[in-house]
Structure 1
Amino acid sequence: MNGGVRVGGGVRGFGELEVVVMDRLWDREGTSTVREVFEDLRQAREIAYTTVMSTMDNLHRKGWLSRKKQGKAFLYWPALTREQYGAQLMRDALDAGGNPSLVLSHFLEQMSEEEAATLRRLAAQEEAG
């Protein structure tokens, strides 16, 4: 996978429809066409095919979606997993939040015991190589 989608020095969040499209694509296995995402979305909302097509094209131009041509259509898939996207957002927050040590300290204060235990386990694994 790619090392991270960076826009203007940081991860750029999604617009409202972009979030919905990315969620649909993350929930799918493999690739999807605009038509498949459109059919899925129109079950829950009134939306135009061209709106979905433009949104997916924009997400591709921003680096969030990869695509390849198949016949007359494109097959799309997320450039990052949902978890990699979350990690990029966390990295961005750490970079933008002022003193990284204080940001991390405040973050740790907000963690549950289970989350803190997971973090300790992952840190130990990372240290062990």
Structure 2
Amino acid sequence: MALGELERAVMAQLWSAEEPLTVRDVHDRLERELAYTTVMTVLGRLAKKGLVRQERDGKAYRYAAASSREQMAAELMLDALGDVGEDRTAALVAFVDRVGPEEAEALRRALDTPPSGTPRPAG
């Protein structure tokens, strides 16, 4: 699920917030010439996509990201990988060819560590 530029900007504000934000909070933090209703519409769409949690606070709603930035990035990468069809290996190789040395090393470490956090035995 790809996000538009404004959706990404709204998500960035939610991720950087320490507590859920109102539409007004997000609107003010964006520091752009946008209508309040535009921000309200974007937040509503993000909530329908399941990317944002919406909770009632009196007459207003407060919004928070449903997952961390890292979790969402992982989901987007998995979605993209699913879109390639059968040749996932070629897509992964092309991805690894484009990342920098630090990212490549982080991938190596991640592949050498099982989800439980315990290093896999060598060999």
TM-score of the superposition, structure 1-length normalised?
Answer: 0.80
| CA RMSD, 1 decimal | 1.8
1:66 lines up with 2:53 in the alignment: yes
1:57 lines up with 2:44 in the alignment: yes
Cα separation, 2, equivalents of 1:109 and 1:116? 9
Cα separation, 2, equivalents of 1:54 and 1:93? 26
Q: Could you tell me which of 93, 106, 120 is aligned with 1:128?
A: 120
Deviates more, 1:14-23 or 1:68-77: 14-23
How do 1:50-129 residues align onto structure 2 when only pairs under 5 Å count? 50-98=37-85, 99-126=87-114, 128=120
Give 1:53 shift: 1.2
Post-superposition CA distance 1:104-127 (Å, at most 9, x none):
122222232222221111111116
Post-superposition CA distance 1:12-62 (Å, at most 9, x none):
212232122111111212211111111222xx3222211111111111111
How do 1:15-54 residues align onto structure 2 when only pairs under 5 Å count? 15-41=4-30, 44-54=31-41
Post-superposition CA distance 1:57-99 (Å, at most 9, x none):
1111111110111111111101121111111111112111240
Runs of 4+ in 1 over 4 A off after TM superposition: none
2:110 aligned partner, one-letter code: L
2:3 aligned partner, one-letter code: F
Unaligned runs of 5+ residues in structure 2 are none
TM-score of the superposition, structure 2-length normalised?
Answer: 0.83
Give aligned pairs, total.
Answer: 116
Unaligned runs of 5+ residues in structure 1 are 1-11
2:10 aligned partner, one-letter code: V
State the identity %: 41
Give the number of the structure with larger relative contact order, counting CA–CA contacts within 8 Å between residues 6 or more apart. 1
Distance 1:93 1:39, change over 3 A: same
1:24 aligned partner, one-letter code: Q
Correspondence for 1:4: none
